[in-house]
Structure 1
Amino acid sequence: MSGCGGRSTGFPQESPGRIWSRWRALHFPRDLLISLPLALGFIGLRKVFERSIAVPLSRLLGVKDKVRLSASPAPSLEAFYTKHSRQPAPNELSSLMKQSGLTQKQVEIWFHHRRNQDRPSHTKKFCEASWRFVFYLISFTGGLTSLISTPWFWEQKECWRGYPQQRVENVHYWYYMLELGFYWSLLLCVSVDIKRKDFKEQIIHHIATIFLLGFSYCANYIRIGTLVMLVHDSSDFLLESAKMFNYAGWKKTCDSLFVVFAVVFLVTRLVVFPSKIIYTTLISSMEVFQPFVGYYFFNSLLLVLQFLHIFWAWLILRMIYKFLFLGKVCHSSGDENVGKRARMLVA
């Protein structure tokens, strides 16, 4: 196992299982700590990006926010809305009518207006999508540039040649740390970001990605880890760009980008990922070493991601059905279901 710049562990004759049992004693895992200040840096950079670039760009592309009526002051209804439910059940309306002194119709209208107040604006959605688009595009471009000349990019069995004594180039170290820092920033911002319909799946994806990146770095699964990141980043920027044009009202451009995204996603996540990535970690790796605890842990995380890929693929195929038979993709509110970056992470 080696660290940034090719540091050696000094365990030339030990099996991966024994190295795994001793990794806590190494300085190597401490390299991961830099991802935390990087995450904070990403959060700060995102704020600057949204204010100075994303908002002006949204205006340039024609993003328009809907004018929504505000709910009139009603302390009893506001208390119910914030503490109990955003939409009262029929048997709760009579009690709310007595507390507020309003008719049933007025109570229903109040809750409708109040829910509309909490809906994020198109500008906010555009800013979030544009930030993720910029990162994923840069990450994919940089990752592809750094990997295309490596032997394991073309032949995945090369991921295990010489394992665990493998040199880690600086460019791949920073590829890891920046990606890990970005996913930490996404996880730290879940409470303030737009809550989408696939919120739970996104949280699972972010956590699985962070564990996968952290563990693979410590176990020196870095070669296969870089391929995992590249596969995930290859489609994420396409999805975010489709969302950006959707919020701007460029429906034809959005539809075209979504079709391209769907093809890339289905090929990379349902074909390349299981046949190239999971196959080499499950099968090819055993030609080099016997399974140990890290082998099972790493592959379990990959399978979690694959299940999420299948879930998102189902959502995408459902939207393709709408596109082919109903003639619309981005016109449908269902586009919010298609979450990724994962990105890896998302992966």
Structure 2
Amino acid sequence: MEYDKDPSYVQLVTDIADKFSEYAASLTANDLTISSITKTVLYHWNFSAADLIFPLIAALVIFLLKQIIVGILNAIDLSNFQPVDAKKLPESVFQLIMYSGLWILETKIVLDHDFLVSPSKTFHNWSEKREEPLPFDAYWLYVTVIGFYIQALVCCILIDERRKDTNVMILHHIATLFLVVFSFGMRFWAIGCLVLFCHDICDIFLDVSKLFLYFQNRKVCSKPTWYICEVTKSISFGFFVLSWIWFRFNLYPRKAIYGAAYHSMVEIKGGPPVYPFYSFLLMSIQVMHIYWFFFIFKLLLKILTGAKLDRDTREYEESNEKKTD
């Protein structure tokens, strides 16, 4: 379908700019008041008490799952691991389990509804469907994702040790949580599933790479095991970089951002509620992708030049800063 043909990056920018101009031209001074924006959101908002309670329960269950994983791994003799690696091992196992499960469900939803091939379907007939219940799998995906990011935000602020990018991580969790809750309440679930699909696969490869790094760094590690870990770690990291480039620098802007900022204006007369704000938040996440890729690229350069790596670039730089204090 020509309408759903993937745009070039130049076309993406120009098409979105045209739609923003078109939307701006249709606005009146009254449309820009806080009162008008609030009324618009409340009119379209579809968020029940259950939609609040279930994610909070999910956050508690996910936090308990994390503690169970930590407890099981701490019960195992990890004395052969480096102390810093033994401390991070449970987090990587937990995240690998969560992101793998979420991405499998996201892939099912995206493929079942053909959102990847035809991203315009994410907003097709939205005005008629917004009062309808979400599909069962999409609903529980949202409940789980919201719960996951609630516990991640709480842990990042109150529990986890601060890192060089902690403030950016907090900002990322807040922006992601807001976007997921907003798309849930506004029944933009289709574009939300596509956005999630474009993100979670990268974290799977990253955590696999970290796990093999921890095993490789053990105090006593046989040469065959060391080489197996080295190869597997490098392959996993390679897939992580490739998945970041393909999913976050290609599919995310050309499918998800284009779908939200361009297709939504075509499919919904007058555009979706709070159109520029929602589109801006999606674009802000892309800026964060570029920021984090800076660290990824630095780590990739170290690998290609054969530099010794004991941890990821952010942690490496942080440890150097502490040494100079």
Q: Which TM-score bucket, shorter chain as reference?
A: 0.7 to 0.9
Structure 1 residue 38 and structure 2 residue 18: aligned?
Answer: no
Structure 1 residue 207 and structure 2 residue 207: aligned?
Answer: no
- 1:252 CA drift (Å): 3.3
Q: Determine what percentage of the aligned residue pairs are the same residue.
A: 25
1:323 to 1:226, Cα distance in 2 relative to 1, 3 A = same
Structure 1 residue 159 and structure 2 residue 179: aligned?
Answer: no
Structure 2 spans left out of the alignment, 5+ residues: 1-36, 217-228, 318-325
- 1:124 CA drift (Å): 1.5
Counterpart amino acid of 2:240?
F
Q: Which residue of 1 aligns with 2:212?
A: 245
2: CA distance, partners of 1:37 / 1:144 = 24
1: CA distance, partners of 2:48 / 2:111 = 26
The answer to whether the Cα contact below 8 Å between 1:254 and 1:330 also exists between their aligned partners in 2 is no
The answer to whether the Cα contact below 8 Å between 1:227 and 1:277 also exists between their aligned partners in 2 is yes
1:151 to 1:292, Cα distance in 2 relative to 1, 3 A = closer
Counterpart amino acid of 1:173?
Y
Q: Which residue of 2 aligns with 1:320?
A: 300
Structure 1 spans left out of the alignment, 5+ residues: 1-16, 67-120, 339-347
Q: Which residue of 2 aligns with 1:302?
A: 282
1:63 to 1:328, Cα distance in 2 relative to 1, 3 A = farther
SS in 2 for 1:197: coil
Counterpart amino acid of 2:138?
H
2: CA distance, partners of 1:272 / 1:29 = 34
Q: Which residue of 2 aligns with 1:48?
A: 68
SS in 2 for 1:303: helix
2: CA distance, partners of 1:58 / 1:223 = 45
1: CA distance, partners of 2:231 / 2:309 = 9
Q: Which residue of 2 aligns with 1:226?
A: 193
The answer to whether the Cα contact below 8 Å between 2:81 and 2:215 also exists between their aligned partners in 1 is yes
Tell me which of 89, 93, 100 is aligned to 1:126: 89
Per-residue CA distance 1:134-178 (angstroms, 9 max, x = gap): 100111112212331213232100111111222420110001110
Per-residue CA distance 1:28-73 (angstroms, 9 max, x = gap): 4751332112111111111112212x446784xx85134xxxxxxx
Tell me which of 229, 235, 238 is aligned to 1:259: 238
Structure 1 residue 184 and structure 2 residue 150: aligned?
Answer: yes
2: CA distance, partners of 1:289 / 1:266 = 34
The answer to whether the Cα contact below 8 Å between 2:212 and 2:232 also exists between their aligned partners in 1 is yes
The answer to whether the Cα contact below 8 Å between 1:42 and 1:185 also exists between their aligned partners in 2 is yes
Q: Which residue of 1 aligns with 2:219?
A: none
For residues 134-153 of structure 1, the aligned pairs below 5 Å read 134-153=97-116
1: CA distance, partners of 2:262 / 2:88 = 42
The answer to whether the Cα contact below 8 Å between 2:164 and 2:314 also exists between their aligned partners in 1 is no
SS in 1 for 2:127: coil
Give the paired residue count: 263
2: CA distance, partners of 1:179 / 1:136 = 10
2: CA distance, partners of 1:178 / 1:329 = 38
- 1:336 CA drift (Å): 3.7
Counterpart amino acid of 1:216?
S
Q: Which residue of 2 aligns with 1:116?
A: none
Counterpart amino acid of 2:248?
R
Q: Which residue of 1 aligns with 2:43?
A: 22
1: CA distance, partners of 2:110 / 2:186 = 20
- 1:330 CA drift (Å): 4.2
Q: If you compute each CA radius of gyration, which structure gives the higher value, 1 or 2? A: 1
2: CA distance, partners of 1:33 / 1:180 = 11
TM-score (norm 1): 0.70
2: CA distance, partners of 1:337 / 1:237 = 21
- 1:318 CA drift (Å): 1.8
2: CA distance, partners of 1:49 / 1:131 = 7
Per-residue CA distance 1:245-282 (angstroms, 9 max, x = gap): 11222333222211110110111111111111111111
Higher helix share: 2
Counterpart amino acid of 1:251?
E
The answer to whether the Cα contact below 8 Å between 1:63 and 1:247 also exists between their aligned partners in 2 is no
- 1:320 CA drift (Å): 1.6
Per-residue CA distance 1:62-85 (angstroms, 9 max, x = gap): 85134xxxxxxxxxxxxxxxxxxx
TM-score (norm 2): 0.74
SS in 2 for 1:154: coil
1:139 to 1:336, Cα distance in 2 relative to 1, 3 A = farther
SS in 1 for 2:128: coil
